[in-house]
Structures are given as C-alpha cells and as structure tokens.
Structure 1
Amino acid sequence: MKGAFIDLEPLKVLTYRRLWIGQVLSGFGGQLTFVAVMFQVWDQTASPAWTGAVGLAQALPLIVLGLFAGTLVDRLERRKIYLITTIGQLLTATVMASQLAIGRFPVGVLLALVAVQSAFGATAGPVARTVLPQLLSRDQLAAGIALNRIGFQGAMLLGPALGGVIVGTWGVGVCYLVDAVSFLAALYGVLGLPRMKIEGVAKPGLRGVWDGLTFVVATPVIRGALITDLAATVLSMPISLFPVINAERFGNNPRTLGLFLTAIAVGGVAASLFSGSFTRLPRHGLVMLCGSAGWGIALLLFAFSPAAWLALVCLAFAGAADTVAVVSRSTIVQLHTPPELLGRVSAAEQIVGQAGPDLGNLRGGVVAQLTSPVASLASGALLCIAAVAAVAASTPGLRRPAVTQDA
C-alpha cells in the first residue's frame, strides 16, 4: 500500500523544491484569474460562444508561437528565458489587476490580455519542462511530473472555489491582483535555478521547427501520446459549458461555478496522491490510454446526470482519469526524447496539452450554441472514446512496457 502513495523523493532536491513551490502558488493565482475571466465574459455577454472565445484567445498564441518558442529554448540558456517569460506574465497580470482602479475592461481588451499572457506562457511552458531532467535523475522524472501535477491540481482544487467566493464578494479585480502577486513566488523559484547547459545547437527558425515536428511524427509512441491527448481535449473539453449549465440549473451563482472546477480538481488530487500506483508501472502508454478513455466515459455520464451531486461525482472521476493520462503522457515524452530536441517536443506537448483544451472549450461553446449543452457534452465524450480506441489499435508501442518501446 505504501508504494501506491505519491513519491516525494524529488522534493529533497532544493532547486526543484523551490521551483515547485513557486509554480504551485502561481498556479493558484492562475486559477483565480480563470474563474474571474470566465465570469466577467459571461456577465458582460451572456453568451456561451463568448466564453468559448476565452479558449481561442489562450490557444492562438500557443499554436502560432509554440514551436518557435521550443526552438528558442533549445538554442539559448534556459534560466534566462524562464526569467523573461515569468516577468512578462507578472506584468500582464498586473495590468489585468488595474481594473480595480479604472473599472472593467471591454471584453475585447480582456481577451487581448489573456492572449498576451498566453504568448508568454508559450515559452514558459516548454522551458519549464526542459528544466526538469536537469534537476532530477531519470528514475525521479515520473515522480517529479506527478508532483507537478498534484501542485497544479491542488491549485485547481482551492483556486476556483475561492475564486467564486472572491468574485461574488469583492469582484473580479481582486482575483487578478492575487494572480499578479502569486507570480512573485514563481519568480523566486526561477531565480534559484542554476545556469542550464545547452544540449545541442538547434537550427534557427522554420528549420528547427521542422526538425522537432519530424521527430514527433516519426516516433510512434510520442505521436500516439499527443493524438490521444488531442482526442480527450479538442473533442470533449467541457469547461466552457460550465457557465451555461450553472445558469440553467443553479441560478447563475458564481460559487457553484467554482464547484464544477473544484470537483475536477478533487479527482485529480486523489489520483496524484496515489500516483505511485501507476508511475511505477512500466506500461506508461497503456496507463495513458486507459486514463483518456476514462475521461471520456466520465464526461458522458456527467452529460446525463440528473442531480447536482452526481454531476460533481462524475467530474471528480473525470479529473482523476485526466491526471493519470497527463502524468503518463509527459513521462512518455521525457523518456523518449533526446535532450537536444526536448524544447521543441515539449513545445508540441504544450500546444496539445494547453491549446487542445482551449480549442475544445471553443468547440463545446459553439456546438452548445447551435444545439444544446447536453448534445455538446455527449457528442464530444463519444468522439473522445472512439478516438482513443483508434489510437490504441493503431499504435502497439503504447501497449508495451517502456523498456521495449522504440524511441
């Protein structure tokens, strides 16, 4: 039973522990901002399509800049890049917090700031992933990824619920202010990193991007892992539907909106706490496939849940399945990518892992606008399950133990 609990060994590494704490605190602030942005856009437009547009504002910079950012990470000293991107995110959050003094921004201005924040994140994400193998041993990587995940899920667990309370009591501006302050903790963590050696010399511009994409496409286990994640996010992400479901069933209470996100986090934290039960397994690909299928099944049940408590239970199961899938996917990428390509492959993983949900939220909002929230949820969940089954059938390397998989 002891082996099932999360492995805390990576926290003994001082630089990793300091970085991890900073990421957890800034992640908490980010969750407050997410709730505030979603509520502000819904409050000013009353349109699920506009709440879906929040996802588009987050996704476009990641898609347009992500792979070029990965090339930059593979060419330059990574600590310096990490510092620049963290400071940029801090400044953007500060501008959003200025609404406390000057009043609410128009929706277009707010979405533009969300896009700027995402542009800095397009580089911050890949560099954060490339730092991990230089701080931890190969045997500690899966545990470190699981710790990063529980940090994210812990922030998601507390952040949305508290964000709903803050929005309902003091308004959205306070959420943005807390987010800005939280980036100071992230900056503290990055300042503790050593200078990072450059593993190789990536080609500049499109040539470097092409090398990264060629590796991803030519490596079956990585290609299959990223396609599986796209199936679970672009096809079935439900978060843009939460405001309209909240308005239809729960009186548009911002506290209830926070509970939807909190339920996903509860399941994610539970899965992370017992992550030793799957991070120590050799078949990371098979674990990822099962987690992704479980996500789709849980969302299908959520779409038809007749009671609020049952809907929250389904979302908790979805959060647990998502954590299993994400940790396993990241482990596959780390174990099968050469160091000199890790920035670009990590950028591709980030585009899938972050822009995928954003595009999925856009899809969910648009389909709900044209049909209904239930139709949007159910159709997406069924498509997700079918796509995961197709990847499992066509990529046998994902079903084998890691030691036998081809790089």
Structure 2
Amino acid sequence: MQPSSGTPTAKRRSVKSLLSKVFLDTRPLKYPAYRRLWLSNIVTAVGAQFAAVAVPKQLYDITGSSAYVGLAGIFGLVPLLVFGLWGGAIADTVDRRKLLLITNGGLAVTSVLLWVAAASGTRSVWLVLVLFAAQQTFFAINMPTRGAAIARLIPVHLLPSAQALGATVFQLGSIAGPLLAGVLLPVAGLSMLYLVDAVALCAALWAVFRLPPLPPQEGAPKKAGLRAVLDGFRYLAVHSVLLASFLLDIVAMVFGMPRALFPEMAERTFGDPPGGGASLGWLFAAIPLGAFLFGVFSGWLHRIVRHGVGVTVGVIAWGLAVIGFGLSDSLWLAVFFLALGGGADLVSMVYRSAIMQTVATDEMRGRIQGVFTVVVAGGPRLADTVHGLAGAAMGTTTAIVGGGVLVVVGAVISAALLPAFWRYRAPTSEA
C-alpha cells in the first residue's frame, strides 16, 4: 500500500524532490574516486586565488602600469598554448593519476619560488613573469589531465552534475581567496599569499595520491608527439559541436574578461589605497561569488538537454553583464554586475564541459581537454593583454563596454552560423 499524499512520509519525499530540483546535485560524490578528486580541488581553490591576486598586484606595484599587468597574459598564454595541447596528448598515453602527482608537485614548487622572490623584495618584473610562466606550464598539463580523468570516475549521465559540483567549489575558493587576500595584503604582505598557495598545493597531493590508477585504454596513442596532437585537431574538425563550444568560449573570454583592469579600477575608480585594499578583493571575488551562488541553486541544470542553447544564452548574458560593469561608478553596482556575469558563465561552462566529456571518446579526451584548457585558461590571459593595452589607450570604461558589446554580437552571429550547435541535445540515459 502506497502512502497517501498527505502522510508525513509523502510530504518528506515531496520536500526532498523539490530540494533536489533546486539545489546542487551531489550524486557524483557517492563515487569515492571522484569525491577524492573533488576534495583536492577544495583544498587548492583558495590558495590558487591568492596567487591569482598576487601576481597582477605585484606587477602593478612594481611598475604602476596596467600594460605590464596585461603582459602577464602573454607569459601565461604561451605555456598554455604549447603545453596545454601537448599535455592533453600526454594524458592520453600515460597513467593520468601519476601525471597529476607530477604536475601538482611542480605547481607547489613554483609557488614556493614566487614566495621567495616576493619575500626578498625583488623589483624585477621579468623574474616574476618567468616564474609565473613556469607555473602556468605545470598548470597547462595538469588541467587536461584532471578533466580527462572525471569521465572515468562517474557515469556519463552525471557529468553535468559533476561539472557543476567542481565549478561551485572552485568558485567558493575564488570568493574566499580574493577577499582574504584583500584583508591580508595590508597586514601580512604580498609574499604570504604565495606561501598559502604553496601549502595548499602540497596538501592536495595526498588526495591525488589516493586516486585509483588511470592507465590509457585501448585505442590510445603510444607516443605524445606532434601526430597525436594533430589527431586531436582532426577530431575537432569533424565534430562541429565541440568546435562551436570552443569558439563561443573564445568570444566570451577574449572580449569580455576585464580582470587586467581591476588593479587600476580599484585605486582610481573605487578609491583603494596604493598598497591594496578591499575594493581589489571584491572585484576579483565578484565573478566567482555570482557563479557560486548560482551553482548552489543549480539542481535544475542537469534536467535541461538543450546544452547548445544553454551555452549560447549564457554567453550573451555574460556580455550584457560586462557592459553593466563597465558603466558602473559604484563599487557595489560593479560587484552586482560582475556577480551576474559569474552566474551566466557558470551555466555556459557546465554545459560546455558536459558537451566535451560526452562527445569525445576516452582515448581522445586528454587531447580535447588540452584544447579546452588552451581555450578556457588561455582566453582570459589573452584578454589580459587586450584589455590591459586597450585600457591604457582608451580608458577602462571604453575598453570594458566595447568588449561586452563584442561578446553579445559574436554570440548572436555564432548561433546564426552554427545551427547544429544550437540544436544539440545531450544523452539522457541513466543506464
């Protein structure tokens, strides 16, 4: 006999069902291996954001110019272009767990060196940039390896939920990190930010160590050479849905990510003191704050199968939010628009990642993740250069608003020219 709709049991089930449709879907955490990988992301999220604030702040303190802050984009982009693609090929030919251990260790070592440089009071822009480039080299190999491992740890129908879980945790760290950095900068100094990042990365090594072996599967290439990398591009050329998802992300990030202008805006628009203050922390935290809040209430995301529509709408919303940010003359209004943009970017990112994990086969996932790393991480670094130069030449408002307009126009044109992507539907089987 089934309980009636008015019984306490039925009411509890109804409430549970409602909550599952609203709040973050945690089903992927039932799988121990994925849970360990997810927990390692929690540990490193705050530390990574400390470094993300410290590098541009240190460069701006040394030079007083947003153009030099933008130059960091080039020093981060080149390693991502080279080692992101090659790292994806390596991830298809070796045990992905071992590769994660090596690259996590490399990230920790470079953070220690950045701490030593900052603590010694160096005034060398080039030393900071070279160490930053070395760190991005390890990051470029680590990211496609980590991404390619996820689909081996959980069922395919849980991939959107897993992407939302990972993004939400990362965004939580991205909120706490910049805010804490803004508080610690005047008290503990810049070098402390690098030290915290190094300690967090060392702690995460234990979680990665406990992952199961992830050796290459049948059909994987034997060597991670140029041919393997080119095979990845050929694979993309015949899978237009993957190609379109990358194109939209390039449009959104290159034209619409104005973070290189945050240090200048914090001081000249929102009144931070020269040594750094709360406004800088809020600007860096606003986008992940919006993404985190949206992620907490993302239980409905996995129910939508029109992933192409989700990516396109998310990119357009991001562009509109960037325009609002560029026109803001109040810190809290600026934070509001950046937070809206963060929520829109999370939607776009979840569906892009799910498309990539679903369409690509396992023996190709490392290389496709390598291209994904170049696009996702390289796009903002190219944007750093573009916005840094544009801001120095035209002013921050013109550079930011113009970029937001280009995002909206580019997304609309892409949707019109790529109808197959707009029509794409994700597989729904839970078998």
TM-score, normalised relative to structure 1: 0.96
- The one-letter amino acid paired with 2:307 is H
Matched, 1:248 2:268: yes
- 1:62 is aligned, of 60, 74, 80, to 80
Deviation at 1:355, TM superposition (A): 0.5
Aligned to 1:264: 287
Give the structure 2 partner of residue 209 of structure 1.
Answer: 229
Are the equivalent residues in 2 in contact too, given 1:283–1:398 (CA < 8 A)? no
Distance 2:377 2:117 in 1: 26
Structure 1, residues 319-368: CA drift from partner, whole Å, max 9, x if none? 11111111111011001001110000000001000000110111001011
Deviation at 1:195, TM superposition (A): 0.8
Can you list the C-alpha shifts for 1:256-303, whole angstroms capped at 9, x where unaligned?
101011111211011111222222210111111111110000000111
| 1:306 positional shift | 3.2
Candidates 242, 245, 261, aligned match of 1:222: 242
Distance 1:403 1:41, change over 3 A: closer
Q: Please report how far the alpha carbon of residue 404 of structure 1 lies from its aligned counterpart in structure 2 after TM superposition.
A: 7.9
Counterparts of 2:37 and 2:427, CA distance in 1: 33
Match of 1:31 in 2: 49
Partners of 1:204 and 1:120 lie apart in 2 by 16
**Contact 1:267–1:316 (CA under 8 A) maintained in structure 2:** yes
Give the 3-state SS of the residue equivalent to 2:383 in structure 1.
Answer: helix
1:102 CA displacement:
2.6
Name the residue aligned to 2:327.
Answer: 304
Runs of 4+ in 1 over 3 A off after TM superposition: none
| 1:318-333 paired onto structure 2 within 5 Å | 318-333=341-356
- Comparing 17-26 and 43-52, the one that deviates more: 17-26
Q: Is the contact made by 1:125 and 1:350 (CA closer than 8 Å) also made in structure 2?
A: yes
User: Residues 21-65 of structure 1: CA distance to partner in whole angstroms, max 9, x if unpaired?
Assistant: 111221210101111111111111110111111222211100122
Amino acid of the residue matched to residue 10 of structure 1?
Answer: P
1:316 maps onto 2:336 in alignment: no
Aligned residue in 1 for 2:372: 349
Contact map agreement 2:178 2:282 (CA 8 A) in 1? yes
What is the 5 A alignment of 1:79-98?
Answer: 79-98=97-116
The structure 2 residue matched to 1:371, chosen from 390, 394, 402, is 394
Report the 3-state secondary structure (helix = DSSP H, G, I; strand = E; otherwise coil) of the residue aligned with 2:328: coil
Q: Which stretch of the first structure deviates more once superposed, 102-111 or 288-297? A: 102-111
Q: Which is further off, 100-109 or 207-216?
A: 100-109
**Cα offsets for 1:138-191 (capped at 9, x unmatched):** 121111111110011000010001011111211111111100000022211110
Helix, strand or coil at the partner of 2:165: helix
More displaced stretch, 177-186 vs 193-202: 193-202
Question: Does the aligned pair in 2 maintain the 1:242–1:257 contact within 8 Å?
Answer: yes
Percent identity reads: 34
Secondary structure of 1:194 counterpart: coil
8 A contact 1:23–1:185 mirrored in 2: no
Unaligned segments of structure 2, at least 5 residues? 1-17
- Measure, in 2, the Cα distance between the counterparts of 1:105 and 1:125: 31
Change (3 A) 1:262 1:172: same
Within 2, Cα distance between the matches of 1:244 and 1:95?
A: 26
- Superposed displacement of residue 371, structure 1: 1.0
Q: Secondary structure at the match of 1:234?
A: helix
Q: For the pair shown, which has the larger CA radius of gyration, 1 or 2? A: 2
1:158 aligns with 2:181: no
Q: Does 1:170 align with 2:188?
A: yes
CA shift, 1:104, in A, is 3.1
Cα distance change of structure 1 residues 403 and 23 upon mapping to structure 2, 3 Å threshold? closer
Which secondary structure state, in structure 2, belongs to the residue aligned with residue 195 of structure 1?
coil
| 1:338 lines up with 2:356 in the alignment | no
Residue equivalent to 2:153: 135
Q: Measure how far apart 1:128 and its partner are.
A: 0.1
**Does 1:239 pair with 2:259?**
yes
**What is the CA deviation profile of residues 349-400 of structure 1, one whole-angstrom value per residue up to 9, with x for unaligned ones?**
0100000011011100101111111111011111111111111111222222
- SS for the counterpart of 1:53 is helix
DSSP 3-state at the match of 1:75: coil
Structure 1 residue 100: Cα displacement: 6.0
Equivalent residue runs for 1:80-119 within 5 Å: 80-99=98-117, 101-104=119-122, 106-119=124-137
**Counterparts of 1:306 and 1:204, CA distance in 2:** 50
Separation (CA, whole Å) in 2 of partners of 1:213 and 1:122? 17
Query: 1: distance between equivalents of 2:124 and 2:95?
Result: 38
Q: Whole-Å Cα distance in 2 between the matches of residues 192 and 223 of structure 1?
A: 34
Shift, 1:252, TM fit = 3.1
Residue 93 of structure 2 is matched in structure 1 by 75
Alpha-carbon distance in structure 2 between the residues aligned to 1:336 and 1:184: 34
User: Which residue of structure 1 lines up, in the alignment, with residue 26 of structure 2?
Assistant: 8
* Alignment RMSD: 1.5
Asked if the contact 1:42–1:50 (Cα under 8 Å) also holds between the matched residues in 2, the reply is yes
Q: SS of 1:251's equivalent?
A: coil
Q: Distance in 2 between matches of 1:36 and 1:359?
A: 19
Deviations along 1:93-117, one digit per CA (max 9) or x if unpaired, are 1111224653335111011111001
Amino acid at match of 1:294: A
Q: CA deviation at 1:251?
A: 2.6
Give the superposition deviation at 1:403: 4.5
